[in-house]
């Protein structure tokens, strides 16, 4: 594969950078909000994403019949990386997870209802897979759906609980995995779209390691009690939801854990090492420090090219109808990139000395406290989108062909 960008792709990068410069706003862009916190959770961030829609940059890879431009996946990658590098909101959830699944499997009603809104960023979604006893093992979800009827409509009556639903407190719609066949683990889950602001849905805040003690990030528990969903809001075939979820998770593992913030954090650390002294001696001249920085820089480059490989394999899959997304490559990238981020955070804490324990944005702290926020957030990144252990299982079984109980 070619690791260099074409002249056309370089031109697009320049267009995006110019757009971001023209719309620079500290309420929209904040590099201290790490990967999973780069979401569209404020009116300003929402308005900014609407501007991206006006540029035609949301849904670039979608078919033209649904408002897209059938562009190559690399352009979506380039856009998301530039957004993430500045700490801006990312395009992955609505455009990628929900939009692409609806295009592939949704009925005509759902496509007409949601796809135009996604392209204009007029709707926000929360994703409901995880449950108290079904975290990374999505196939174990138990939120129950039973056939029922209300107000003359047939559909499903839902009862149960979800957890770790990051966007539930500001989203309008819930992309919900429901257990519709209790006798079939993998062929007994159905995806549904459910309005969140309705009786029967209760949202309870959970503070995360990324948000404590300042409350700058939260996730949620969601309780679903006797909620009715009409049949037209079922996504694809009943009991085929796990297959759709698996395909969407490949997108989530890649788009939500971008390389640009990793490189940005590494640059912050390198700048610190370049200018800091210890007992009057330049830190950059210490051989152990130099070795550690060289190792980090090497691993960062590995993460970058692994991400480009996912893009390359995704484009090959898009060019051949029926070809599945690059599951193994996505898991390899997600595993390596997020675990490397933890190692980078450890190095930032070590090389910054005790002052790195000061809160992020503390002016007198080494690297202005960036190491502290990075250390907290990178732990979360190894869990979101499927924990590192899940990624290892995917690589072992699908990539190496090992048996399930190896």
Identify the burial level of 335 via C-beta atoms within 10 angstroms of its C-beta, where 0-12 means exposed, 13-18 middle and 19 or more buried.
Answer: buried
CA–CA separation, 343 and 337 (whole Å): 10
Which one, of 130, 129, 120, 141, lies nearest residue 59 by Cα?
Answer: 120
Average pLDDT, the chain: 90
Residue 6's contacts (CB-CB under 8 Å, 6 or more residues apart) are none
Going along the chain from its start, the domains and CATH numbers come out as 7-90 (no CATH), 127-239 (2.40.110.10), 257-399 (1.20.140.10)
Tens-digit pLDDT profile for residues 232-271: 999 999 999 999 988 777 666 556 688 999 999 999 999 9
Q: Is the pLDDT of residue 216 over 60?
A: no
Q: Is the pLDDT of residue 40 over 80?
A: yes
Minimum mean pLDDT range among 34-43, 44-53, 101-110, 361-370? 34-43
Q: What percent of the chain has pLDDT over 70?
A: 93
Averaged over 54-61, what is the pLDDT?
93
Instruction: Output the CA angle 390-253-297, nearest 5 degrees.
Output: 100
Checking DSSP bridges between strand 173-179 and strand 125-128, what pairing results, if any? Answer: parallel
Averaged over 97-116, what is the pLDDT?
96
Checking DSSP bridges between strand 173-179 and strand 201-207, what pairing results, if any? Answer: unpaired
Residue 142's contacts (CB-CB under 8 Å, 6 or more residues apart) are 131, 133, 134, 160, 179
CA–CA separation, 381 and 34 (whole Å): 9
């Amino acid at each position: 594969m070619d690791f260099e960008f074409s002249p056309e792709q370089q031109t697009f990068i320049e267009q995006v950078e110019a757009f971001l410069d023209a719309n620079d706003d500290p309420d929209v862009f904040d590099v201290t909000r790490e990967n999973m916190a780069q979401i569209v959770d404020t009116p300003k961030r929402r308005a900014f994403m609407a501007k991206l829609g006006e540029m035609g940059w949301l849904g670039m890879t979608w078919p033209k019949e649904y408002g897209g431009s059938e562009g190559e996946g690399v352009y979506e990658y380039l856009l998301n990386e530039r957004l993430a590098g500045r700490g801006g909101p990312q395009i992955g959830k609505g455009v990628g997870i929900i939009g692409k699944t609806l295009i592939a499997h949704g009925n005509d009603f759902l496509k007409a209802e949601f796809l135009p809104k996604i392209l204009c960023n007029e709707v926000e979604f929360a994703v409901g897979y995880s449950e108290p006893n079904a975290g990374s093992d999505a196939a174990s979800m138990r939120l129950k759906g039973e056939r029922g009827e209300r107000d003359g409509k047939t559909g499903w009556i839902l009862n149960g609980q979800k957890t770790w639903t990051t966007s539930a407190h500001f989203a309008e719609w819930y992309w919900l995995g429901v257990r519709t066949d209790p006798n079939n683990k993998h062929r007994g889950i159905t995806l549904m779209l459910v309005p969140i602001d309705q009786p029967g849905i209760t949202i309870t805040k959970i503070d995360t390691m990324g948000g404590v003690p300042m409350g700058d990030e939260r996730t949620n528990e969601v309780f679903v009690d006797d909620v009715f969903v009409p049949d037209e809001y079922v996504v694809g075939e009943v009991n085929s939801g796990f297959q759709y979820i698996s395909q969407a998770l490949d997108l989530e593992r890649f788009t939500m854990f971008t390389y640009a913030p990793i490189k940005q954090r590494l640059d912050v650390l390198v700048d610190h090492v370049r200018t800091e002294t210890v007992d009057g001696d330049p830190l950059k001249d210490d051989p152990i420090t130099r070795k550690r920085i060289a190792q980090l820089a090497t691993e960062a480059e590995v993460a970058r090219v692994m991400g480009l490989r996912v893009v390359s394999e995704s484009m090959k899959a898009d060019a051949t109808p029926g070809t599945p997304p690059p599951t193994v490559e996505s898991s390899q990238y997600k595993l390596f990139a997020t675990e490397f981020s933890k190692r980078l955070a450890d190095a930032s804490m070590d090389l910054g000395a005790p002052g790195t324990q000061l809160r992020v944005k503390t002016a007198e702290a080494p690297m202005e406290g960036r190491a502290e926020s990075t250390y907290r957030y990178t732990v979360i990144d190894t869990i979101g989108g499927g924990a590192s252990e899940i990624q290892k299982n995917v690589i072992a079984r699908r990539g190496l062909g090992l048996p399930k109980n190896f």
